Amino acid sequence: MNNNPTIIPYSDILNQQVLQVWEESVLATHHFLSTEDFNEIKGMVSAINFNEFTVFCSTDNNQVTGFIGVADKKIEMLFVAPVYFGKGLGKALLLFAINQLHATRVDVNEQNESAVKFYKKHGFKTNERTEKDDQGRNYPLLRMKL
């Protein structure tokens, strides 16, 4: 993985690859999710119109390797294919969102310790904690700001 991945705007032709990256990434990082909740969330994610967000995808040989979505200066989604974990791709997408899309906020599942650590390492600080996620499930969120 080079340090300057190709980052392109999302288009519907990439939808299936984006959903595949989402699923692989969540299965590798969100061990705290019950199977039932995972399947419910997967259904919600597959129904998302990614054109309603500012979404950019990292690619390698025309394959989506990760993606980031921002709305109102808030990172709504950042997922990387597990094969690219630890190779700087998440950082590249995060810096793109901060520098190009002016993102300053993110909500993170408290139980996703590697993501919490990742955002803290890049200057985000927790300014609020919720007991439940935005769908009312028992997964506390950390609302973080740069």
In the chain, the domains with their CATH numbers are 6-103 (3.40.630.30)
CA distance 133 to 8: 30
pLDDT tens digit sequence for 59-112: 999 999 999 999 999 999 999 999 999 999 999 999 999 999 999 999 999 999
Residues 73 and 104: their CA atoms lie apart, in Å, by: 6
Query: Where does the pLDDT of residue 4 fall: very low under 50, low under 70, confident under 90, or very high at 90 and above?
Result: confident
Q: What is the pLDDT of residues 102-141, one digit of tens each?
A: 999 999 999 999 999 999 999 999 999 999 999 999 999 9
- 103: which strand partners? none
Alpha helices in the chain (DSSP H): 15-29, 35-46, 89-101, 113-121
Name the burial class of residue 3, with classes exposed (0-12), middle (13-18) and buried (19+) by CB atoms within 10 angstroms of its CB.
exposed
User: pLDDT value at position 5?
Assistant: 85
The answer to whether the predicted template modeling score (pTM) of the entire model surpasses 0.85 is yes
- Calculate the alpha carbon distances from 134 to 42, 45, 57, 140 in Å: 15, 14, 25, 9
